[in-house]
């Protein structure tokens, strides 16, 4: 499934609508890292509100996306993690260390605009 | 199963050694206990007071309960069924547990009754040693079963009470009040076991979502003791809140808890832990852009 990446002035916003396969995640990673440079974006928001499961591969990929984008000179905010998902992730030890998180898209934008 | 076997083997010994049938012996025994009811009962109540048991009850109460237990005991010996006695013991336990009666007291009084009755049998049959032996063969297994079922009923009732209280404690709701817009506080009070920690985390996460909280102050002043499990739960809770985009401030670590955490090497460095609740709330307000000042200014 293709994940749309929207350009919103200095930021890129991508909303994950459904559970992604590993290949989809890798494609998303490549697209984001590439577009951050092309649009000279300052920040990237990844909205995962629709996800009710987050496995270790998805978490790891999100983390590497964030790190890659950091290397490309932009900030990443992951927003909309559901309470149950957050709880499960923490129990599995997947804490997204060092990556900004926000409650929802609005908060994420506010965080990037600070 | 083993108790039944034991009883049967006692019974067999008795029949082998007896000239009279077992039921005849039992009838004699019960008649003796009925006849000397008043005296034995008094003797028993006296022994209970002497042994300093049931100190939380008055003399009259002890005597009244002693009477009921005595009668139920004799009935149980006669009929060989223990349901009534068990029901009575449960009922009694229900009444006396809230008054602080301990297990050793209950076991103690039941054993005292056994002793008192056995003594009276000795006194009555001391002329005829063979008959005494046979009477005791009949009496002992039944009396042991009585003592056993009373004690077990008491312990069961006690366990039921404890379970009920645990349940009640677990169901104590964990309030997550909002003190300012987007600022929640979570005062944790009492013991944290894994189940409660889980419930607590879920409630907090839900609170963050509904109140759109940005900062959460967790106050653990009311937590008496902390071990590595509890500390790890706390670390997990903080991690989960962070994933929802909320900042967590932990406050109220007592010196004892701080020492424990250092001793068991739980890493709380990622948590902002110093200070008191007021200071932390002020800090949280500041990070949300609030400035609180007296009204005159």
Sign of dihedral through CA atoms A52, A55, A57, A62? positive
Contacts with B242 from chain A: Cβ below 8 Å = 95, 101
| Model pLDDT, residue A68 | 93
Give the domain ranges of chain A: 5-112
Greater confidence, B260 or B19? Answer: B260
pLDDT tens-digit map of A13-39: 999 988 889 999 999 999 999 999 999
pLDDT tens-digit map of B147-176: 888 888 888 888 888 888 877 776 666 778
pLDDT tens-digit map of B204-225: 998 998 999 988 988 888 887 7
Would an 8 Å CB–CB cutoff place A113 in contact with chain B?
Answer: no
Q: Based on the number of CB atoms within 10 Å of its own CB, is B67 exposed (0-12), middle (13-18) or buried (19 or more)?
A: middle
Residue B12 confidence class, pLDDT cut points 50, 70, 90? very low
pLDDT at residue B73 tops 60: yes
Greater confidence, B57 or B204? Answer: B204
User: Cβ of B212 and A107 within 8 Å?
Assistant: yes
| Model pLDDT, residue B17 | 46
The runs of H, that is alpha helices, within chain B are 2-17, 22-35, 37-50, 59-79, 83-96, 103-125, 129-171, 194-211, 228-243, 255-263, 277-287
Tell me what the mean pLDDT of segment A95-104 comes to.
89
Tell me what the mean pLDDT of segment B181-193 comes to.
84
| CATH among 3.40.50.800, 3.30.1370.100, 3.30.750.24, 2.40.440.10 for A5-112 | 3.30.750.24
Q: Which value does ipTM take for this structure? A: 0.76
Question: Which residues 80-109 of chain A have a CB within 8 Å of chain B?
Answer: 81, 83-87, 89-91, 95-96, 101-104, 107-108
| Model pLDDT, residue A43 | 93
User: Cβ of A86 and B236 within 8 Å?
Assistant: no
Contacts with A105 from chain B: Cβ below 8 Å = none
């Amino acid at each position: 499934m293709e994940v749309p990446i929207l350009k919103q002035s200095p930021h890129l916003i991508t909303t994950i609508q459904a559970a992604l396969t590993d290949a989809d995640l890798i494609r998303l990673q490549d697209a984001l890292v590439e577009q951050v440079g092309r649009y000279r974006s300052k920040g990237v928001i990844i909205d995962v509100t629709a996800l009710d499961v987050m496995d270790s591969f998805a978490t790891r990929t999100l983390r590497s996306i964030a790190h890659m984008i950091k290397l490309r000179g932009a900030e990443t905010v992951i927003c909309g993690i559901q309470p149950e998902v957050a709880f499960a992730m923490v129990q599995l030890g997947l804490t997204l260390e060092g990556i900004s998180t926000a409650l929802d898209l609005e908060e994420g934008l506010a965080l990037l605009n600070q | 199963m083993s108790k039944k076997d034991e009883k049967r083997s006692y019974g067999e010994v008795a029949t082998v050694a007896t000239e009279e049938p077992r039921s005849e012996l039992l009838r004699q025994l019960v008649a003796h206990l009925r006849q000397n009811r008043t005296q034995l009962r008094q003797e028993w109540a006296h022994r209970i007071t002497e042994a300093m048991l049931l100190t939380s009850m008055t003399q009259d109460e002890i005597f009244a309960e002693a009477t009921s237990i005595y009668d139920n005991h004799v009935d149980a010996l006669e009929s060989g069924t223990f349901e009534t006695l068990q029901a009575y013991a449960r009922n009694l336990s229900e009444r006396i547990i809230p008054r602080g009666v301990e297990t050793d007291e209950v076991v103690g009084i039941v054993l005292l009754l056994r002793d008192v009755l056995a003594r009276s049998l000795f006194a009555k049959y001391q002329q005829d040693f063979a008959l005494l032996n046979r009477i005791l063969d009949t009496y002992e297994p039944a009396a042991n079963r009585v003592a056993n079922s009373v004690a077990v009923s008491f312990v069961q009732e006690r366990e039921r009470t404890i379970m009920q209280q645990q349940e009640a404690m677990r169901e104590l709701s964990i309030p997550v009040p909002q003190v300012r817009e987007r600022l929640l506080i979570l005062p944790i009070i009492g013991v944290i076991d894994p189940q409660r920690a889980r419930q607590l985390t879920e409630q907090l996460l839900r609170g963050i979502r509904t109140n759109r909280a940005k900062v959460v102050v967790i106050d653990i002043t009311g937590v008496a003791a902390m071990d590595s499990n509890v500390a790890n739960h706390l670390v997990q809770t903080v991690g989960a809140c962070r994933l929802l985009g909320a900042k967590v401030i932990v406050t109220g670590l007592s010196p004892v808890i701080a020492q424990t955490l250092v001793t068991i090497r739980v890493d709380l460095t990622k948590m902002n832990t110093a200070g008191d609740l007021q200071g932390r709330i002020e800090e949280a307000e500041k990070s949300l852009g609030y400035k609180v000042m007296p009204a005159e200014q």
